[in-house]
């Protein structure tokens, strides 16, 4: 059955005349039906932990657009919460967490294998989706990469330069590495359980990988991704893994070889022609239309979409944005993108 799914065929290395397509944050605030369901849930975290409603918002963009894949509706910060961090969301400002900056903060965290009670509703969401999705739609699970999750756990919020995490990495490297290891172990357990609940592909989002330079990129972006991928492959050898070291730049080169991921997702700061020559040579790539086109639309959207499809047409490719779609996007522009990919519109 799986080999008929366009997404899984691309991840297995097949070059397709029309690439499969999905979109980061495709279940989100740009859709009126999402806003209605979120209002019903009460708040963002309640939506993440309400399996029926989380499944509903995951299905909404599939019903509307017929994407080739659905990505589980959840958040990368559920893992820190499951490890014992306090987590809440401030309207208009984003997430806030209790911080891990000293040994006693780390000592208060739960062990990696104690996360599943908290995360059980996420697994239930996947089970619902396994039954509810169309037979040709691939179900994607995901988690944040250890470095990215650590930046939030150390700073207690998103930061422009991940400064607090870099400071801890330099000032108390033993504590920093212990935290990274705890997150890595939890992420392996979490993604493995997602697969057991029905995820056919998993994606590791390293949103802040671009702030790691030199050896730090190897140690804290490449190594944890390799560990997670190897552990998952041992337990679930047929399940593909997508890695997304956002804004990695030159570090995209060789990332698949070093980590073992089946596909490298690309942000839109890299040129598709360059990425085809330097990254796609190692296997499947995903990306990388600028999400701003979903706001502005028009001929520029069509031209850039065509250029990306053309650039990656010589190898396995999954069409996507280079970043998540933004709340101010026009749903009609999403349809235009899909039509351009599928029909050369």
| 37: its two tokens | 């369901």
User: Which residue among 34, 65, 123, 152 is the active-site one?
Assistant: 152
Question: Which residues contact residue 110 at a Cβ distance below 8 angstroms, ignoring those fewer than 6 apart?
Answer: 82, 83, 84
How far is 285 from 302, CA to CA, in rounded Å? 20
64 assigned to active site: no
**Prior bond to 288 cis, omega within 30?**
yes
Catalytic residue among 38, 96, 226, 342: 38
Answer whether 115's CB lies under 8 Å from 42's CB: no
The DSSP symbol for 202 reads: E
State the catalytic residue, choosing from 29, 96, 127, 306.
29
246 in catalytic set: no
Please give the distance of CA 211 from its chain centroid, rounded to a whole number.
17
From the list 75, 189, 262, 267, the catalytic residue is 75
Out of 25, 169, 227, 246, which one is annotated catalytic?
25
- Active-site residue, 38 included: yes
CA torsion through residues 320, 323, 325, 330, sign:
negative
> Catalytic: 29?
yes
- State how far the Cα of 252 lies from the Cα of 178, in Å rounded to an integer: 26
Q: Which residues are known catalytic residues?
A: 25, 29, 38, 75, 152
């Amino acid at each position: 059955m799986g080999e008929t799914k366009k997404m899984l065929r691309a991840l297995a290395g097949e070059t397709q005349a029309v690439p499969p397509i999905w979109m980061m944050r495709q279940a989100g605030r740009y859709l009126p039906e999402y806003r209605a369901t979120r209002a019903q849930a009460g708040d963002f975290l309640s939506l993440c932990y309400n399996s029926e409603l989380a499944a509903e918002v995951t299905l909404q963009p599939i019903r509307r657009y017929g994407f080739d894949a659905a990505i589980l509706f959840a958040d990368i910060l559920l893992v820190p919460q499951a490890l014992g961090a306090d987590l809440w969301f401030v309207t208009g400002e984003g997430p806030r967490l209790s911080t891990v900056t000293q040994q006693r903060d780390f000592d208060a965290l739960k062990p990696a294998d104690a996360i599943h009670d908290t995360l059980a509703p996420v697994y239930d969401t996947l089970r619902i989706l396994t039954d509810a999705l169309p037979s040709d739609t691939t179900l994607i699970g995901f988690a944040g990469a250890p470095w990215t999750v650590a930046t939030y756990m150390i700073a207690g919020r998103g930061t422009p330069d991940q400064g607090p995490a870099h400071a801890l990495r330099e000032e108390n490297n033993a504590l920093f590495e212990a935290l990274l290891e705890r997150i890595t172990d939890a992420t392996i357990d979490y993604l493995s359980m997602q697969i057991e609940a029905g995820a056919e592909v998993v994606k590791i989002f390293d949103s802040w990988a671009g702030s790691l330079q030199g050896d730090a990129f190897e140690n804290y972006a490449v190594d944890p991704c390799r560990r997670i991928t190897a552990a998952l492959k041992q337990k679930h050898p047929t399940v593909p893994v997508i890695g997304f070291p956002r804004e990695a730049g030159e570090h995209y080169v060789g990332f698949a070889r070093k980590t073992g991921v089946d596909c490298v997702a690309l942000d839109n700061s890299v040129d598709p022609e360059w990425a085809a020559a330097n990254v796609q040579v190692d296997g499947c790539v995903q990306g990388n239309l600028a999400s701003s086109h979903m706001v502005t639309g028009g001929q520029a959207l069509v031209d850039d979409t065509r250029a990306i499809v053309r650039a990656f047409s010589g190898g396995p490719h999954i069409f996507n944005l280079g970043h998540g779609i933004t709340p101010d996007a026009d749903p009609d522009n999403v349809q235009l993108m899909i039509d351009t990919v599928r029909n050369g519109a």
